[in-house]
Structures are given as structure tokens and as C-alpha cells.
Amino acid sequence: MGDRGEDKAARYLQLQGYRILDRNVQLGRYEIDIIAQDGDTVAFVEVKTRSEDDGIPPETQVNHEKQRRIISAARVYMSQRPDDEVYYRFDIVSIILPTKGKTSIMLFKDAFRE
């Protein structure tokens, strides 16, 4: 389910004008689901997928500990590619893949800060 969600998220981001730079990137001890370019900004994207709408939005799973891990991985990425002309932010793509009905996808730009 996670791979299906990430595939859908990548396609959705491309439709929103993002250019996918990399996926499932291991940086230090942590991983970033999608790294994408959105204009002059590099977005570190966390994808959260659920199979049903149980009333708990998938994006709420990105708690402070998860944010800390994503930020740590992003710092490794930024240190490997220093560029004063590029901005960085953290986005979340929330996906619900129901067994019946339409997939729900929501994008949260700048969902949390360092």
C-alpha cells in the first residue's frame, strides 16, 4: 500500500507542477519519500497513506518525532548540495486508498518547519 501511495503522490505532484528529483532517498539514518523541485524550492515530501477513511487524517501521523527525522535527513541532503539560490520546505501528501470509491489526495505545502 505504501508503494501505491507514493506512486500516486509522485504523479499528483507532477500534475501540480513539481519535478521529481528523487524517491525513497536514504540520507544518514533516515529516509525521505520524495524530493521534488517546485519552482525555486526543493520540497522534502512525506507521503502518508491509509486504506480507509477512519476519521483519522493520514497527515496527523507525521508527529514531532517523524518531523525531526525528516529534518535530519534533509540537513544531510542540503549539506551535500549547498545552494544559496534554492529554498527548502517540508510538504506532506495525505492519501486515502479506499477499497471502493475514489482515491483522496491532499497536499500540505510547508506543513512543518525546521
CA distance 91 to 94: 10
Q: What is the mean pLDDT of residues 13-26?
A: 97
**DSSP summary character for residue 60:** G
What is 2-112's CATH topology? Trna Endonuclease; Chain: A, domain 1 (3.40.1350)
Q: Domain boundaries in the chain? A: 2-112
Q: What is the pLDDT of residues 42-83, one digit of tens each?
A: 999 999 999 877 778 899 999 999 999 999 999 999 999 888
Question: Are β-strands 41-50 and 87-96 bridged in parallel, bridged antiparallel, or unpaired?
Answer: parallel
pLDDT of res. 49: 93
pLDDT of res. 1: 60
pTM of the model: 0.92
More confident residue, 81 or 106: 106
Which residues, including other chains, have CB under 8 Å from residue 24's CB and lie 6 or more apart?
6, 31, 32, 33
What is the maximal distance between C-alpha atoms in the chain?
46
Tell me the three state secondary structure of residue 37: strand
Least confident of 3-7, 32-36, 107-111: 3-7
Predicted confidence (pLDDT) at residue 2 exceeds the cutoff of 80: no
Residues comprising the chain, all counted:
114
